[in-house]
Every structure is written in C-alpha cells, then in structure tokens.
Structure 1
Amino acid sequence: MEEPEITIKLTRDEATILSDWLERLQMTDLSNTVDDPTAWAPIHRIAGQLDKVLPALFFPDHDARLEEARRRLRPLDDGSLES
C-alpha cells in the first residue's frame, strides 16, 4: 500500500534559509549529525525539492538574498518578526 504524500508550506524566506541549512548539513559528515541513516533519504529529497523551486539559490547575489531572508525572519526584541 502506497503512503500518501505530505505537503509542507513555507514562505520563500523560510525555504531559502532551510535550503541553506540543509546544504551545509549535507556538506558535513552526515553520520556525525544524523545518527539514523534512514533520515538521509528525506533530507536529500527535501533539499532537492527546494533546489527545484528556488532558482534564486543559483543567482550570483544569493548570499545577499539569504541575509535579507534571515533579517526578515530574525525575531525582534519583542518576539515579533520584521516585516
């Protein structure tokens, strides 16, 4: 029996930051961070899907875009997000 797929919704900023984190994670020795080898398949699948839907990841100004996304999602002192 095939399992139904799960859909996760993220803002573009959230997806950009998650993609960057997953990329850095994949560049490490995953066995040191992810102790369950069965978790690697979904990690790689999520990263691949993000690569497909975020073409800006490959733009020359990606680092600046990433920093802007971080700035917008970084909580302010009162716990709210910057708009």
Structure 2
Amino acid sequence: MEEPDITIKLTRDEATILSDWLERLQMTDLSSTVDDPAAWAPIHRVAGQLDKMLPALFFPDYDMRLEEARRRLRPLDDDSLDD
C-alpha cells in the first residue's frame, strides 16, 4: 500500500526564506549538519520544488526581495514596542 504524499503550506515569504536557507545549507560542508545520507533526498526535493514555485529567485532584485521577506518575518523586539 502506497502512502499518500504530504503537503506543506507556506507563505511566499516563508518559502523564500526557506529556499535561501536550503541553498546556503547545500553550499556548505553539510556532513556536520546532515549526518544521515537519507536526509538528502527530501532536502533536494523540497529545494527543487521551491525553485519551481518561486520565479523571483531569478529576478535581478532578488536580494532586495529576500531582505524584505526577512524583515517581515523577523519577530519584533520587546524594546521596539516601547518606541
């Protein structure tokens, strides 16, 4: 019996941040972070799906879009509430 696929929903900002993080993760020495070779298959699959769903990754202003997404997703500091 085949198990059903799992669907994960993300906002565009969340997907952008995750895509960037996965890209940076894949470009580093991952042996210390990903110690199980079986983990590579889902990592590459998620990264590939995000690349397909996020055309902005290839836009000239991607760096600006990424920083805006980061800004929107960062939690507010407690100190900023006093301002």
Q: Same fold (TM over 0.5)?
A: yes
**Could you list the runs of 5+ residues in structure 1 that have no partner in the other structure?**
79-83
1:38-61 per-position Cα deviation (integer Å, ceiling 9, x unaligned): 001000000000000000001111
Cα root mean square deviation, aligned: 0.9
The alpha-carbon deviation at position 3 of structure 1 amounts to 1.7
Q: Which amino acid aligns with 1:67?
A: E
The alpha-carbon deviation at position 33 of structure 1 amounts to 1.4
Structure 1 match to 2:61: 61
The alpha-carbon deviation at position 77 of structure 1 amounts to 2.1
For 1:1-83, list aligned pairs within 5 A.
Answer: 1-78=1-78
Q: Which amino acid aligns with 1:15?
A: A
The alpha-carbon deviation at position 74 of structure 1 amounts to 0.6
> Contact 1:31/1:37 (CA < 8 Å) preserved in 2?
no
Q: Give the fraction of aligned pairs with identical amino acids, expressed as a percent.
A: 91
Larger radius of gyration: 2
> Contact 1:51/1:57 (CA < 8 Å) preserved in 2?
yes
Q: Which amino acid aligns with 1:69?
A: A
Q: May I ask how many residue pairs the two structures share in their alignment?
A: 78
Larger RCO (CA under 8 A, 6+ residues apart) = 2
